[in-house]
Structure 1
């Protein structure tokens, strides 16, 4: 029996290759169980996804401290993302913006002001679309760490532009600053979950990727607190408030030398196995990374037909990935167009109707955002135990029910004053449910549905869709709300139910599975659906 050879890093290279890969040296006799395997043709049979997942290696079950610190440092940009969402994009602060609408006579009309506010809201996600479009090129050309460097530099410039918005009087400058800030945020929304998914362990991948959204919600809370008029929420303090978002990327830029490149990117895309092994040993705090390196090799062999696949090919000429792309479309639609903007917009109004003083409402909304952060924290804790599907189904189920109830209670609050108190509870429940699954889980699903060389293209599609739907809701929400009032939730309810139905029937559970196993599972499900379709046609 030939002994496995060892390379310089102490990682054994198996002489036996995965079935169907180049360099196969011997044939294997199939057992009866293997001969009846239902895996579609062309899928390497490393092991069946239908079988129980093998017991995790000790190095995979323990939680390396270095990985935790690296993940926290990388998510500081996520905190700026949340900070910008509220400071730059929230309708509740646009009246304090430096457009100074009252100085333009043509904008004294309320409808004109509403139109200008809608345009202002739309500029931020419009920039996000541009950022997502260039992300794929940056991630594959400069690497994950190189893209982090670029994003940090651009984000620091973004904070400087926003801080100068009140000094440069033409409102065109403010428009440009918002588009530019949106572009930086679009990059952040893609690179952080992608990077976290590629450096984390399989058994804890969900928790690490969802840290992106957890830091985002913390950024929103920080922005709300600093925007209090007792702190920086004044005309004098507003420029400082707008520019403080630059602290997060400045800090990460200083810590960037401590962050490693993605080991998957190094081995699978750059063919630098020695560097990948060293990075992986450092991340796992162990010398025994052979099993994970072998998994990288298996993925590299499997995805040879997908290498250097661009976004357009992924959309139009990859029949094996159509269900993956459709799943992204549905999840991004559910993330952005399920009423979360309406819920945030009505938070202040609902509490004021409940006779909470205007001065106290500010603190109540901060408390609401804090509860949303706790909800996301619970999701981070549960995602790798109860699963992704459970979080999504529970979250969209809560959103569906509360949309119906809010439509009823907000209509009746003029007749029955006590309904305002029920509205406050329902609004908070909606936001907590949305923060539990529908918002943080989709980026994780995007990372898991694609293999290494096509993953960046998957994030491009997801990012463009996320910011496009955000753009559409930003442009249309205020005008639609002026006409429908509380009935606006009736628009979002069918969407929530439709997304719930799709997830329940078509989205598989992916917890504790490698990227390759997830791909094989999707291939099996796609093959089964194709057989059913052919049978029905006959």
Structure 2
């Protein structure tokens, strides 16, 4: 949306004038554009809230399919925006695509970690972040003026993700197995669950006794409890700490300033003398770096503890933000500062991508048993979208008021995130979710790391 934003704003202005004979002022146009940007986040929050109900009602595959259908419907609406000369279709398409995004950020990490073997759970969970970074990069490329970022094709750019949604829909419906945990514990279809588990592992069921024992243990735990709803998860004291950590990590990920750094990056690259085209390609380079780190983090999650990776990522991000603020303040006093700022932007993206980017998306699947997991993941995703909305609304005003000092606020938010998680976040690598959940049943009185070294 960033590169061709002025083209879409011009369309909205012309459409309102032609259809309603109203000439928008620059302020009114900015308000309308803010609404168009924000409704995507509202759709995301809505998708997050209904994801838990959909995943239990229609299964993980069914809910994922609904999300892909929403994406396709939104893309079709985008294709008709210029033909119908309709700002209303633009808004509706943004809401529906946001709904699709909200469902995806809740459901994909949950599904991936449920079907993954224990030793690969973290690596597989990172794939969600990899998909997001790939999507960001593809969007940056599609938005270039030499690709689809023109006045004649920006609506096609907005719909260019639809082939991926269609492919994902066909793959989900025709090929992917249903989550064995969902079938075994939620649906009570043990025979079908074991059949799907055998197909997933490509092994005879007799060789999967450890996983079957884990399923039986989770089933016994669920049988002793009634159905988990969002309302119950919010009220249940035994999951309060885990829910707090999931929501904090998702919210804190957005308050880390990643979107603000991307926002600032174009200005920094321009000041480095790269030119408009060069700055756009440099911005794409940040997307490549982000995606590259997502690929690397797949291996990192298999080799190192979640806590160590998260804290290392956070401290590196804090250092980059502090030096970035300093370099921006001195950008007009020393010629090399503009290039240092460029390097720091890339360093920040790399530092973020190794831990703070991927871990919040899948940590909920490791902290919760299968019963409360969908509701907890939905609430966590809602906080992620809410944090995104908050930063998007407040950053322009803060940046105008205090300039690059805003990066100190983001650094402070990350430090708070580290302090809290050092005390309460348990190590989850290589541990059963039932064991992890049991260590946090005392809420904030729990000491989940007392018997497990980080």
Tell me: CA distance 1:93–1:480, structure 2 relative to 1, closer, same or farther (3 Å).
Answer: farther
How many angstroms apart in 2 are the aligned matches of 1:451 and 1:410? 46
Residue 355 of structure 1 pairs with residue 273 of structure 2: yes
Quick one: structure 1 residues 114 and 415, their matched pair in 2 at CA, closer, same or farther if it must change by over 3 Å? farther
How far the C-alpha of 1:522 sits from its partner, in A, is 2.8
Matches within 5 A, 1:128-147: 128-147=44-63
Deviation digits for residues 435-493 of structure 1 (CA, Å, limit 9, x no counterpart) = 21112111211111111111101111111111111111222222322222222212212
Distance in 2, Cα, partners of 1:201 & 1:325: 24
Secondary structure of the corresponding residue to residue 281 of structure 2? helix
Out of 355, 359, 364, the position equivalent to 2:282 is: 364
Indicate the residue corresponding to 1:414 in structure 2: 332
Partner of 2:95: 179
Partner residue in 1 for 2:376: 458
Partner of 1:228: 144
Check if 1:399 corresponds to 2:310. no
Shift, 1:523, TM fit? 3.8
Give the whole-Å Cα distance in 2 for the aligned partners of 1:92 and 1:229. Answer: 8
Cα pair 2:253 2:356 within 8 Å, conserved = yes
Query: Where do 1:239-278 residues align within 5 Å?
Result: 239-255=155-171, 256-278=173-195
Looking at structure 1, the residues matched to 101 and 386 of structure 2 have their Cα atoms a distance apart, in angstroms, of 14
Once the two structures are superposed, residues 390-415 of structure 1 have per-residue CA deviations (whole angstroms, 9 ceiling, x without a partner) of 22111111221222222222112122
Aligned to 2:238: 320
Q: 1:307 and 1:424 mapped to 2: Cα distance?
A: 54
Structure 1 or 2, whichever has the larger Rg, is 1
Q: Which runs of 5+ in 2 are unaligned?
A: none
Distance in 1 of aligned mates of 2:325 and 2:435: 43
* Cα separation, partners in 2 of 1:215 and 1:359, compared to 1, 3 Å: same
Cα distance in 1, alignment partners of residues 159 and 12 from structure 2: 22
Q: In the alignment, which residue of structure 1 is the partner of 2:414?
A: 496
More helix by share: 2
- Offset, 1:165: 2.0
Q: What's the Cα RMSD here? A: 2.0
Change (3 A) 1:306 1:99: farther
**1:210 partnered with 2:126:** yes
Give, in whole Å, the separation in 2 of the partners of 1:399 and 1:338. Answer: 8
Partner of 1:96: 7
Residue 295 of structure 1: CA displacement?
0.9
CA-to-partner distance for each residue in 1:149-181, whole Å, 9 max, x for gaps?
212222111111122222232323212211121
CA contact (8 A) 1:91 1:117 kept: no
Following superposition, the deviation at residue 223 of structure 1 comes to 2.0
Alignment partners' CA distance in 2, 1:390 and 1:186: 29
Structure 1: give runs of 5+ residues left out of the alignment. Answer: 1-89, 533-538
Q: Are 1:290 and 2:209 matched, yes or no?
A: yes
- Once residues 309 and 82 of structure 2 are traced to their aligned partners in structure 1, the CA distance between those partners, rounded to angstroms, is 42
1:99 positional shift: 5.4
8 Å contact kept, 1:98–1:165: no
- Normalising by structure 1, we get a TM-score of 0.78
CA contact (8 A) 1:379 1:391 kept: no
- Name the CA distance, whole Å, in 1 between partners of 2:309 and 2:443: 21
Q: Taking structure 1 as reference, are residues 459 and 471 closer, same or farther at Cα in structure 2, changes over 3 Å only?
A: same
Counterpart CA distance in 2 for 1:223 and 1:120 is: 17
- Corresponding residue for residue 28 of structure 1: none
Is 1:300 equivalent to 2:219 in the alignment? yes
